Amino acid sequence: MALRDRVRDVVDGRRFQRMVIAVIVVNAITLGCETSTTLASSYGEVFDALDGAALGLFVLELAARLYAHGPRFFRDPWNCFDFVVVGVALLPAAGPLSVVRALRVLRALRLVAMVPSMRRVVTALVRSIPGLLSLSGLLLLMLYVGSVVAINLFRASGDPRFGDLGATVLTLFQITTGDGWSDVMRDLMATQPFAWIFFLVYLLVGTFTMLNLFIAVVCSAMESESAPVRGDADDRLAEEIRALREEVRALRLEPVGDRG
């Protein structure tokens, strides 16, 4: 237990954290340099060695923190994130998993967990997600329903953007973001002159829903943030008034004799 305490002191210490941050940053930079073909051909082995060293250090660090905190380690979602990101890098990067190699740089996101101000920002962001779930569900439903309608209406036009359900969902997502929707519509209108009806309805309903609810959720999050401040002020006033009432009550109950 004494060793564990000592390890925990080291692991939670400022110096250790700074060292980990330094390793993350150096690792992120080498992974960035590796993308340059000229640098990679000259220093490819150096980068690989540095990457391996960084991964080794991360594994050691996580092991130390896991040992120091015991099973409570996994209660903090940030620790779970660290664990997954480092664990993924240990998967064999060959064959069908070669895409994992491209994801090594996700380790740089560990920086978010180490820098308090970024951590706070992301925590606030994650907290706003539950409020967005019914909204996201609604939008997914609209995207699905809209796509099935669209593919039935526009498949006959032969446009590859409405070739199968997957392509149609992607096209409708594109329309929801407003990027190049008029091109898609004009291409369809060459063969189906009433295609604009679908686009108008989908754009109005979809964009309106998304924007309206998005703003509503963000704002309600802010409201709940500012509400305590108002509540505190009200409580302070109520407190003052209650104290005053006590004094008035005391006035009534005091015998006249005590006052003379």
Q: What residues between 188 and 227 interact with its own copies by CB under 8 A?
A: 196, 200, 203, 207-209, 211-216, 218-223, 225-227
Of residues 95-124, which lie at the interface with its own copies (CB under 8 A)? 99, 101-103, 105-106, 108-109, 111-112, 115, 117-118, 120-122, 124
If binding means CB under 8 A, how many residues of this protein chain bind its own copies? 100
Return the SS3 of 153: helix
Binding track over 29-58 against its own copies, x by CB under 8 A: --xx--xxx---------------------
**Alpha carbon of 2 to those of 6, 9, 12, 13, 62: distances in Å?**
6, 11, 15, 16, 19
Binding track over 159-178 against its own copies, x by CB under 8 A: -----xx--x-x--xx--xx
Closest CA to 147 of 132, 133, 167, 128: 167
Part in contact with its own copies (CB under 8 A); list of ranges 5-13, 48-56, 63-71, 232-240: 232-240
Residues 89, 91: Cα–Cα separation, whole Å: 5
Task: Pull the structure tokens for residue 228.
Answer: 């305590």
Task: Report in angstroms how near the CB of residue 6 gets to its own copies at its nearest.
Answer: 33
Q: Which is nearer to its own copies, 90 or 125 (CB)?
A: 125
| Burial of 115 per CB tally in 10 Å (0-12, 13-18, 19+) | middle
Q: Which of 183, 191, 201, 228 binds its own copies (CB under 8 A)?
A: 183
Q: Note whether 17 binds its own copies by CB under 8 A.
A: no
Q: Which is nearer to its own copies, 90 or 140 (CB)?
A: 140
DSSP string, 102-124: HTGGGGGGHHHHHSHHHHHHHHH
- Contact indicator for 213, 135 with CB cutoff of 8 Å: yes
Part in contact with its own copies (CB under 8 A); list of ranges 40-48, 69-77, 89-97, 244-252: 244-252
Give me the phi and psi of 125, to 5 degrees please.
Answer: -65, -45
Q: Note whether 26 binds its own copies by CB under 8 A.
A: no
Task: Report in angstroms how near the CB of residue 9 gets to its own copies at its nearest.
Answer: 28
